[in-house]
Amino acid sequence: TARGTEVVLNRKLVEADHVIVVGAISFHYIAGFSGGRKAILPGCAAERSIQANHLLSFDRQTLEKRAGIVSGCLDGNVVHQDMEEAVGMLNPSFLVNTVLNRDNEIAAVYAGDWREAHRRGCAEYKAKHALSVNERRPLVIVSAGGAPKDINLIQSHKAMEQSAGLLEEGGTMIALAKCAGGLGRDDFLRWFVEGGSSATARMLVEDYKINGQTAWGLRRKAERFRLLLVSTLEAETVRRMGLEPHPTLGSALAAVTAQDGYILPYGLTTLPEIKTPVV
């Protein structure tokens, strides 16, 4: 691609007469939205293509996420733009994408040109799932939304990422995520070395991995906010990641003093946005 991503796809796709893209649209904290082009990259791409594409989200100079790398954003999102360019080389014949409701039932279907139908679905999804609020507050209670959305910590982190924008600096987040499947990667804890998020960032510069950026994001939030996790994970594992472990919501609530806040029962499918004051 123009940004240097080597595009290596499954041979069966490249040799096919027609490729029909199928998937579901929801928020994604790196690519803006899931669905559409993500069925091909990363869905059917080589690991080196996936890593190169996702590396675009991380600024090696500032050791921070690049501007535009947020949920609900396509315009100005370099990861999304790179994905679209890569998938454009294959140029799928057709797309069918769905939107699921809270019971995992099909609530909407978008079909047609693989770019336009996906963009239309993303725009309508955001219009229905964005939550506009006036101010940040000292407390956020967020649930990943239950199974399968909270199957592991890596998946549950997406809800934490989306809701963090509601917190005042130094505020408190209580995250509810069962994490029955554990962390999501056996090697996830290797990113939690001494030196905080800066140390993890330097590891990413040397050897970028997508789940390493998830670890960096978690550490970054733990440095800015107080994070309490209600889960089934081992308490020592949670502490190693810089979070406070709690077995129940009641236990977590008893440990905080802030009362003014927000409650997000469906953190993965809710996109909070702070209103811009009119000058």
- In terms of Cα–Cα distance, which of 76, 278, 51, 264 is closest to 161? 264
For tokens 């030196």, the residue is 195
SS3 content of the chain, % helix, strand, coil (to 5): 35, 25, 40
By the 8 A CB rule, do 34 and 23 touch? Answer: yes
CATH superfamily of 134-274: LarA, C-terminal domain (3.90.226.30)
**At residue 174, what are phi and psi to the nearest 5 degrees?**
-110, 115
Distance separating alpha carbons of residues 30 and 68, to the nearest angstrom:
9
Distance separating alpha carbons of residues 132 and 255, to the nearest angstrom:
28
Q: Mean pLDDT over all residues of the chain? A: 95
What token pair was written down for 212?
Answer: 């390493």
What's the topology of domain 11-129? Rossmann fold (3.40.50)
The predicted-structure confidence for 264-276, as pLDDT tens digits, reads as follows 999 999 999 998 6
Beta bridge partners of residue 24, listed in sequence order: 98
Distance separating alpha carbons of residues 119 and 74, to the nearest angstrom:
9
The domain ranges of the chain are 11-129, 134-274
- Overall residue count recorded for the chain in this entry: 279
User: Model pTM?
Assistant: 0.91
The predicted-structure confidence for 110-122, as pLDDT tens digits, reads as follows 999 999 999 999 9
The predicted-structure confidence for 189-239, as pLDDT tens digits, reads as follows 999 999 999 999 999 989 999 899 999 999 999 999 999 999 999 999 999
By the 8 A CB rule, do 133 and 274 touch? Answer: yes
